Structure 1
């Protein structure tokens, strides 16, 4: 309850509760406060009572102690007076023994005097000697001499009440000079243990010095040693200059390799010095051995000659060591703790150092040098200390992950920087783009075509092919710069992949990471491009061309997905996956760019709507202006009753309505003004789909009009238009929706025509539609792709898979972006020409006989009618062979 009252919010209390509730809470708080006060009074009273009792006890003890001291002094004085009274009657003259004793005492005092003088001389010589050993980094010798000086000083200080020592205060002052050597030696030892380069002999010497100086056990020395090696590791990573050359700046590679050398060197020192029968235990055994020389042997010869004057306790002094013990479990625990500390330091310091590495060549140098230094195995040490296998392989555990992470970061940052620069250039080109002048891209230049086969086969840009696709000089330069940056990334990665020390799984991971990075970056580029929300037509075209150019004119972009042949020995199963991912990326680009294309298509169709351009409804005036001259066909029929031939004439449409042709030509002109290059097949297919949808909607309105229902000629012309559109745009059964709409509308118009007449006109309408399609196909070539492209429109690409080539201008393959140069090579045109030639040959071979077709006859009569179409010109079957065909060895059929 009290805890709830302490956590009570006053503002909330006054907001959520009434006055009576607040009064109740206040009373509860006052009750709790009073209870706490009572508890405090009780607790203070009890403690105060205990304190008074303790004070009284201390006072009583003080009184008892004083009384006891007085009694002891009284006993001493009584004993002294009693001793003097008892010896008064026994005092005599000195005897010979007493004289000898006095003489011996005098000799002893003289020997003590000389010994004291020699000890003082040793103390005065030791500072310089200790400094000499410290400068030579002989720390155990310096420590032994310091311990020896402390031993001498301790002996002299025990005789401080001696009259001689009272007359020689220099001994005490000399110790004051020697005392700071404890700190000086220890600091020097710790500084040496923090060095990057540390030999086993020097490490053992320093550890022996610590054992002797601080009288600590070997476990503490081990902890100190490992802590100092960790400090050396941190200093190595943070230092800007090496120990050997303070003035020369230290490179990042050198710092990384030096830090790895410290880690490996520490393990080697533990293996060499601290394991069973290690160097440290050998040196300890030599120091403890009875045959080891005393400490005075380290003095100069002049001091050693006076050793006979010293007491044995000083002349024979040797440093004493407790038997050092270091259990394997103790060493294992200390090593694990040290490795955990190294992990924490590496997570901070080492990762920051690796972040400064800027290229793959430096990483390769690091790997080569580190691989050479990390070749030693510590399997025996790991087995003795019961450590996991390869736990002491710092290069593999700590450095390889950071190296791989840095390689990935270099790849990612290089990719990101390259794509960001490219995106900024694309945005700049889009912002500076202006509506293109008519035909400005189609102007020929002298360097469009290669001057030699070597130039054609080289990697130089195909100028004419690029111009046909709308790739301007700025776009080609943009792609060249982007491809050069990607080439640098691929080349740097190739440096690591060719390096022999890199494991196969690491190479495979790098190849996979490059592919994933390329996928992410290109997806991000598309996202940024869509975020621009471009609306102007020329800006959309500029963005489309630049984006398509990245796919077509940057071969190293594809290499990021489809690995080079030199990488496939490591890529393995990734090769097929890379090809599939590249295809998915191309499909993704096509889909996104198709949406941008559709903005242009929608804009063009919105500005040139067929509902506004084509007349509606069809009146007599429209018929006179819009319907072209119909073709007159002469039919021959035989009357069986009168046994004679009867001739009749029919009139059928010969071409689409003039308004429809004008609309299509106007649409082509608007399309050429908006997009100087022909639309890609996929975009053209979408454009035609929308165009035909609008035309079908318009013709549905015309078919439903009263004038069309009442006039057979209007219905026949509209039927002809639909057949023409279906033929010229290549509407097939694969396009089920459009195909059914066309035929449904044709059936609706056919219902407005007399069935007997339609059966008579059907064959001739088909021939005229074929002729009209052949004649107008070339003029409508911008809108009507080849048959192959029409069939593959839904699956064709917006860009070439292979390198762009000038021959694509005359290609009719499914990968071509352009309609053929000559309409005569179109499959539909060839088929129509073959049909007309076959018809003319049949008429020429049998001028008097024709195929019978039903015609109007009186009710109840049966007759056979033979109809033949009148021809206006004859066909010349003798064709001269082309000189070009003769030169290239081609048949005449290639030019048909």
Structure 2
């Protein structure tokens, strides 16, 4: 194997050698690496030791050289003194010439030392200026720069001097110092563009600009305001600022508060620095004082010791300022121009920044922090400049944007809730399936409350049986729960702002009004969207109307958007009734639109089962045999007035129940209506359904009354008359329904004209009794259609509210109390009390029982009494004798 480890080829190595050989090579390479490392450590250590030794030697040489130079200077001075003493007797010049030569020599020597010291200052100034720039002492750096320019100018004016021609370093040193003009100005501009700027730093920067550019105070003011506007814009645009470490992206709240701090801080700086007797004017006055120190005092102590070698024009140099003048009109104009620029930025950038705020908690934090930090009062500045407007940026710019953003959040949250609710309703409509009636009335374990607290709970969602009776199934309840949760979030977020003590009562009242207006607008749009749905079947219609009604009944926070909470009423005051009025108006609108959907449902039921198709149009003998029920026969016993012992018996047949076709038609309607709407119908919907049904039936019976068969047959007319009396009684058509009642009366009078008046006089009381008994018997079976019987002053027309009962349950479905009766119980024979129908039924049952158990004498007496009553009524009405009845 080759021992040259540097030329090893790894691929060839693994192809030509075995694993043990490769392992040996690996160990050799590790050994060589360790040896090289040790050599490197040794070499570095030796070199470092040599460097330390060389440094010590250089330091010793520097000390020795300094000592040697001092000794040489001392020897030189001694030699010059000895030389003058030895040559004193050999001088040929006069004392005057000697003094002139000495002055000339001293002048040259002074000029030489002065030039050297100035060059020394020029070489020391760059480092000193950089030090002041790093320490952000810009006026000191500017003063030193002006001082260096003053020195360089003096040296350049003396450029023709032989000494200056031999020292080109002065000219080169000025080339080094010249760029400090731009460097200092750039640093000053960057500092003035900071978010955080103190009054002392601002005055230092403005004083530096005044000295550096020799400009007037108006130009410095404009530059200052432009830089503060740039700082405001950079804060809004999230640009990297030189005072912000790193590229960390700040939160929106921090940027908004920082921008407000910039604007308020700018006004505070103007108030402290640039008004009469401001900090800037005091600083400039101090610099103009005769006792102000010269610029040489800013040099190091070693340079200050050489100040006596400098000419007075340099040693006593101080920066000169023109007395600054800033008229109030000029300050006002510059401020107005700057405010317009800030308004333009706020209209675009600040508004876009507020658009990023997504919740009320952030807005509340912004308002709280702004109130804590925004404590500077601009009243002094406004009064001094006689401004017609306020400089309170928080009230001028931020409060309107905050209120606008709050409204946008409320509107956006409401729009999202409304859109999600609409999409969910569309999904439920698309998934609508035929209902299962048995599932609604089947008892479930969660129907009864598990505790007293649950029973006393006012939440509608906990009333499972009540919701099932209204058709609110689990998907609809979940839809309402999600919708109500979104509205609860809106109300909760609004509570955060209303509970804040810093907001004005007018703003809080405006927010409450905006919430009500937004809720009204969004709910109206939701109703319009649901109304515009193309619903093809009854199940889809029912799903849509139940969902819309459930949103009102199962979403308590929806009502809170209109009718404020008790904690809000301290702000609304007397406007609470207005909110209740808006809520009632929206409920009426929703009721009207849902009523239209109900009408479409019942119209489809009536169109599917029309009485024109289900009932016979012409009454023939076959129809009579098939359709008319068995009439009851009543035997009337009456005694002859002339022959008291003779008894006259007469037999009458009276209808006992409506036609079979009518009963079958009503039962088919009930079955169809139960299949379409297995839940209970609202009273108003039931009333509308009955009105349409009765109008169709009246049209049908009107056609039958006009037919020739009815006119020719008294029995047919009597049965139709009985049907109309039954419909009028079972559907509770009273005088309050004037039009319908008059139609029934008119049609009954028309049918009564076809009946013999003497027979009708005998039949009238029995027909009324049979109608009452038939109504009492069929009222429970027709409970879906028939309204509740009137109790006291309550009538059927007074229970036409579209909304369901407040707490429907099984008890109220069969209750005989003050609640509406959906399915009243069958009449029970009672010894006392009860309704008219029950009393009639009780009388008939008593008569039949007495008829079966009494003796013939009592039976005859009863028949005689009935006959006498009938005859007496007929004879008294027509003025005929009783012989006519024999």
What is the TM-score when the length of structure 1 is the normalising length? Answer: 0.81
Q: What is residue 658 of structure 1 aligned with on the other side?
A: 660
Q: Secondary structure at the match of 1:632?
A: strand
Output aligned runs, 1:225-240, within 5 Å: 225-239=224-238
Q: In the alignment, does 2:586 pair up with 1:585?
A: yes
Cα pair 2:238 2:249 within 8 Å, conserved: no
CA positional deviation for 1:228: 0.9
Q: What is residue 286 of structure 1 aligned with on the other side?
A: 286
Judge which range, 126-135 or 542-551, deviates more: 542-551
Output aligned runs, 1:268-667, within 5 Å: 268-388=268-388, 391-458=390-457, 459=459, 461-637=462-638, 639-643=640-644, 646-667=648-669
CA positional deviation for 1:668: 0.6
Q: Secondary structure at the match of 1:118?
A: helix
| Offset from partner CA, 1:391-442 (integer Å, 9 cap, x none) | 1111111111111111111111111112212221221121122222342322
Q: What is residue 735 of structure 2 aligned with on the other side?
A: 733
Q: What is residue 109 of structure 2 aligned with on the other side?
A: 110
Q: What is residue 890 of structure 1 aligned with on the other side?
A: none
Q: Secondary structure at the match of 1:572?
A: helix
Q: Distance in 2 between matches of 1:703 and 1:278?
A: 108
Cα pair 1:115 1:309 within 8 Å, conserved: yes
Q: What is residue 770 of structure 1 aligned with on the other side?
A: 772
CA positional deviation for 1:798: 3.1
| Offset from partner CA, 1:347-378 (integer Å, 9 cap, x none) | 11111111111111111111111112223432
Q: What is residue 686 of structure 1 aligned with on the other side?
A: 688
Q: Distance in 1 between matches of 2:797 and 2:158?
A: 114
Cα pair 2:828 2:838 within 8 Å, conserved: no
Q: What is residue 197 of structure 2 aligned with on the other side?
A: 198
Q: Distance in 1 between matches of 2:491 and 2:698?
A: 53
Q: In the alignment, does 2:835 pair up with 1:830?
A: yes
CA positional deviation for 1:161: 2.7
CA positional deviation for 1:596: 1.5
Q: Distance in 2 between matches of 1:126 and 1:578?
A: 77
Judge which range, 165-174 or 207-216, deviates more: 165-174
Between the two proteins, the alignment pairs up a number of residues equal to 772
Q: What is residue 59 of structure 1 aligned with on the other side?
A: none
Output aligned runs, 1:792-831, within 5 Å: 796-800=800-804, 802=806, 808-810=812-814, 819-824=822-827, 830-831=835-836
Q: Secondary structure at the match of 2:835?
A: helix
CA positional deviation for 1:110: 3.1
Q: Distance in 2 between matches of 1:815 and 1:188?
A: 86
Q: For the structure 1 residues 796 and 356, does the alpha-carbon distance in structure 2 shift closer, same or farther, using more than 3 Å as the test?
A: farther
| Offset from partner CA, 1:420-472 (integer Å, 9 cap, x none) | 12221221121122222342322222222112222212345211111111221
Cα pair 1:551 1:557 within 8 Å, conserved: yes
CA positional deviation for 1:104: 4.1
Q: What is residue 253 of structure 2 aligned with on the other side?
A: 253
The CA RMSD measured in Å over matched residues stands at 3.0
Cα pair 1:357 1:363 within 8 Å, conserved: yes
CA positional deviation for 1:123: 0.9
Q: In the alignment, does 2:884 pair up with 1:862?
A: no
CA positional deviation for 1:320: 0.7
CA positional deviation for 1:778: 0.6
Q: What is residue 221 of structure 1 aligned with on the other side?
A: 220
Runs of 5+ consecutive residues of structure 1 not aligned to the other structure: 1-93, 867-896
Q: Secondary structure at the match of 1:649?
A: strand
CA positional deviation for 1:321: 0.7
Cα pair 1:724 1:773 within 8 Å, conserved: yes
Q: What is residue 709 of structure 1 aligned with on the other side?
A: 711
Q: For the structure 1 residues 861 and 543, does the alpha-carbon distance in structure 2 shift closer, same or farther, using more than 3 Å as the test?
A: closer
Q: For the structure 1 residues 793 and 521, does the alpha-carbon distance in structure 2 shift closer, same or farther, using more than 3 Å as the test?
A: farther
Cα pair 2:466 2:807 within 8 Å, conserved: no
CA positional deviation for 1:654: 1.3
Which residue among 780, 788, 804 is the counterpart of 2:782? 780
Q: For the structure 1 residues 497 and 802, does the alpha-carbon distance in structure 2 shift closer, same or farther, using more than 3 Å as the test?
A: farther
CA positional deviation for 1:715: 0.9
CA positional deviation for 1:501: 1.0
Q: Distance in 1 between matches of 2:493 and 2:359?
A: 7
CA positional deviation for 1:757: 2.6
Q: For the structure 1 residues 646 and 241, does the alpha-carbon distance in structure 2 shift closer, same or farther, using more than 3 Å as the test?
A: farther
Q: What is residue 53 of structure 2 aligned with on the other side?
A: none
Cα pair 2:827 2:838 within 8 Å, conserved: no
CA positional deviation for 1:705: 0.2
Cα pair 1:773 1:829 within 8 Å, conserved: no
Which residue among 753, 756, 762 is the counterpart of 2:755? 753
Q: For the structure 1 residues 579 and 810, does the alpha-carbon distance in structure 2 shift closer, same or farther, using more than 3 Å as the test?
A: farther
Q: For the structure 1 residues 270 and 710, does the alpha-carbon distance in structure 2 shift closer, same or farther, using more than 3 Å as the test?
A: same
Q: What is residue 87 of structure 2 aligned with on the other side?
A: none
Cα pair 1:240 1:249 within 8 Å, conserved: no
Q: Secondary structure at the match of 2:698?
A: helix
CA positional deviation for 1:837: 4.7
CA positional deviation for 1:820: 3.7
CA positional deviation for 1:763: 2.6
CA positional deviation for 1:386: 1.1
Q: For the structure 1 residues 814 and 608, does the alpha-carbon distance in structure 2 shift closer, same or farther, using more than 3 Å as the test?
A: farther
Q: Secondary structure at the match of 1:648?
A: strand
Q: Secondary structure at the match of 2:567?
A: helix
Q: Distance in 1 between matches of 2:219 and 2:639?
A: 129
Runs of 5+ consecutive residues of structure 2 not aligned to the other structure: 1-92, 851-857
| Offset from partner CA, 1:866-890 (integer Å, 9 cap, x none) | 9xxxxxxxxxxxxxxxxxxxxxxxx
Cα pair 2:216 2:324 within 8 Å, conserved: yes
Q: What is residue 11 of structure 1 aligned with on the other side?
A: none
Q: Distance in 2 between matches of 1:135 and 1:567?
A: 57
Q: Secondary structure at the match of 1:566?
A: coil
Q: For the structure 1 residues 468 and 606, does the alpha-carbon distance in structure 2 shift closer, same or farther, using more than 3 Å as the test?
A: same
Q: Secondary structure at the match of 1:292?
A: coil
Q: In the alignment, does 2:725 pair up with 1:723?
A: yes
What is the TM-score when the length of structure 2 is the normalising length? Answer: 0.82
Q: What is residue 883 of structure 1 aligned with on the other side?
A: none
Q: Distance in 2 between matches of 1:347 and 1:147?
A: 43
